[in-house]
Structure 1
């Protein structure tokens, strides 16, 4: 059996992955708060943990892996969006949840085994809060219930911060009902016009952190194998999850392995609305950037390193994927390459795995006369283990077989005529049409070349005369 090694945030080292029960490997990943479209950074953990999910299914069998990813569907941001739009909260969350699933599906992400919504588990959250109060780990005050951080002596072990550092580095809410500034909300009162549920402490709603603890306990038990998310969740969210889960269920030990992906940049800068480089997955898809291209760019960088999204990377990814799909057009998947599997099993080294795919493609292309169907099948199965070159994601690349020679000849002739009569209007017209169709126009002394870009749409060439 393949040995999987994962960098465990909890121990700060790479460890051999040993599941609690090989017949029931369990993973929980923090999901989105559904009030708007998922931005590009939201998609990175989805793709990262989708690869891990695929690897676990490959090693242990699909029937022996349980993957849970939640939806937060009650939150201040959601309430604010409802107030601004005048739309009911349930319609907003239903719509944005489906947006998320559609966009992540376009990136080739498999749906988890369970996708619980916070509002479905309010009774379980109340029960966990009651257990924390009974155990002396939480207290009620002015309609709120707060977790007493001082009651959990190893608080901060995951992130490696002292309480003093955490206070300095976090936006700690100062409130008169708190015994300690670090204490965090488990339950809070709801205003008359806000969603709320009856509880022993009055009508209210849960705090953010208790959601994941209650849902993971109900679906995966008091101890499970892997907990994942972006490193921005390490503190306070994951620290708080550990504290309240271990105190509510001291018979267990919550998650054995913690994985955190690094953040995303755009063209070398932090993604920010103020910088004008903020965009959603849907924005890219609408511009014609295929989901498979987005996935390829993500996987080209190791998950524990910052990932820089650039247009150049997207163009190079599209060209590579077109080439690979053409190369393997007659192949059927056999079994994945053992070396590539080992790379992915080594702390999700997807960058190394993609380099291995490049090497396999080069070898296949260099031996066109060789009967290499087996090698092609191996490469196809290897790519699909990473969620690439799947049939579901391939529609965008079917345009790769379009013959562009007539258009290249037309533009070349127009260019030659323009150089003689000094009138470049026809050249400009054709260039504009080809650019609008998603073609890159390359003109040099050697001639004219039209290269399909990520958003190439062959249908837009039909009217170009």
Structure 2
């Protein structure tokens, strides 16, 4: 049974989906005014890994993740760039698609944009106005936070102690228009020259929080299984989503709330963010680092724990990834020389490793403990590849398990095809040279292959190869 840590209840709970065999999941996506940094990528990778594990456990996952494609930051950035807000959004949605594809993040089942759902947002706000949970002030529409009885429960805050300006999307000039400093904007009246849409209360654009409430309930229903996002979204964003959604529908919004930890940087473990100016974009980093290494680095830390980013931690991830690649290459090489049947002793060890892997991952997606079993499987594969007799069925079971487990972490190694005819000939020439004790020629062939990125390993079973 899969257990998840529910931020709302602050405890682990057995996951029970609303529909057997189906997971309905909403994860807050980016505001598309810049390239995503690796802190943003951490959330996308964490929930992609969770999604993949649910699928590994035979769930069908409906995964909805939005784009915020209009807000104050986007309006300012578009003005600085001399383009329209839609043009800015199009540019960085394309960049997001390219960067996340490089990290092997599966596209969401549905990827709605705020600007594509304006009529639904307006209708949602009208219900809140009709119910008395919202009010119009000088063209803006605000939500009465104190009217919602459970406000503050997700983030474990006392409503009487909450201070004005909790949301970065609220500016000081709004204070006089609000009935209460903790009220938050559902709709913002347009200033001259700004992008805007029509609503019964005037021209404007949606507030940040209302977008996710509308898109989550539109595509997943009034109540769904999992809502995810970064820890920084617990308050005010997710708190506000709950308040406005449950006030509108009268139903529980999401059954489980999952939040991923931050990426930190520097000796003082400072949170990485655009506002602090200490961020590294994925767009730049994947020009310097193998994207699969970055994916592996982030996917192998349990989602609720912080990740400390540095060149040293990236290098360690690259080294570990290479060890796994070698284990796959070693066993794949033996596919040329297998006996029929299976090996009961190895099969028994694989069964134990599989049970331990599932137990670890079922425990709130504990990827560190899960990776322990992956490394144990790699060790078993290396040992088995050295045996004189390798059984075909067992070899395939090992390779299949190893491949499926790594795919959960977004890692995919392609077993190498046979060497090209010219390289095969070089290997034969090298064998002949060694037999004739022509070691100079043997070394020349090894160096030639090395120049092509091929490393040779002489073993008792013959010469095998791997790429650097």
TM-score normalised by the chain length of structure 2: 0.79
- Which of 379, 382, 394 pairs up with 1:362? 379
Contact 1:26–1:65 (Cα < 8 Å) also in 2: yes
Contact map agreement 2:146 2:159 (CA 8 A) in 1: no
Residue 96 of structure 2 aligns to a residue in which SS? helix
| Other-structure match for 2:48 | 50
Contact 2:49/2:299, CA 8 A, preserved across alignment: no
In structure 2, distance between residues paired with 1:281 and 1:359: 31
1:173–1:181 CA contact under 8 A, matched in 2:
no
Q: Which runs of 5+ in 1 are unaligned?
A: 395-402, 411-433, 439-451, 459-465
Describe the SS at the equivalent of 1:176: helix
Identify if the C-alpha distance between structure 1 residues 278 and 173 changes in structure 2 by more than 3 Å, giving closer, same or farther: closer
Shift of 1:163: 1.7
CA distance in structure 1 between the partners assigned to 2:277 and 2:255 by the alignment: 40
Q: Which residue of 2 aligns with 1:386?
A: 409
CA distance in 1: counterparts of 2:43 and 2:366, whole angstroms? 15
Conserved? CA contact 1:69–1:114, under 8 Å? yes
Cα separation, partners in 2 of 1:275 and 1:201, compared to 1, 3 Å: closer
Matches of 2:46 and 2:282 in 1, distance apart?
A: 15
Aligned residue-pair number: 397
Helix, strand or coil at the partner of 2:35: coil
Matches of 1:165 and 1:17, distance apart in 2:
33
Aligned positions of 1:60-459 closer than 5 A: 60-61=58-59, 64-167=60-163, 170=166, 173-174=171-172, 175-250=175-250, 252-268=251-267, 269-270=269-270, 271=272, 277-287=278-288, 289-329=289-329, 330=332, 337-367=354-384, 368-369=386-387, 371=390, 372-373=394-395, 374-391=397-414
Q: CA RMSD in A?
A: 2.9
Structure 1 residues 275 and 66: alpha-carbon distance in aligned structure 2, compared to 1, 3 A threshold: closer
Residues 276 and 188 of structure 1, relative CA distance in 2, 3 Å threshold: closer
Cα offset for 1:358? 1.2
Distance 1:89 1:273 in 2: 19
Q: Secondary structure at the match of 2:286?
A: helix
Shift of 1:185: 0.4
How far did residue 390 of structure 1 move? 4.6
Given that residues 152 and 239 in structure 2 are in contact (C-alpha distance below 8 angstroms), is that contact kept between their aligned partners in structure 1?
A: yes
Secondary structure at the aligned position of 1:308 is classed as strand
**Residues 1:25 and 2:48 are matched in the alignment:** no
Instruction: Tell me how far apart the structure 1 counterparts of residues 371 and 309 of structure 2 sit (CA, whole Å).
Output: 17
The 10-residue stretch of structure 1 (216-225 or 297-306) with the greater mean CA deviation from structure 2: 297-306
Q: TM-score under structure 1 normalisation?
A: 0.79
Residues 31-63 of structure 1 show CA distances to partners (whole Å, capped at 9, x for unaligned) of: 0000110001000111111011112222244xx
Structure 2 residue ranges without an equivalent (≥5): 336-349, 417-426, 428-439, 445-450, 454-465
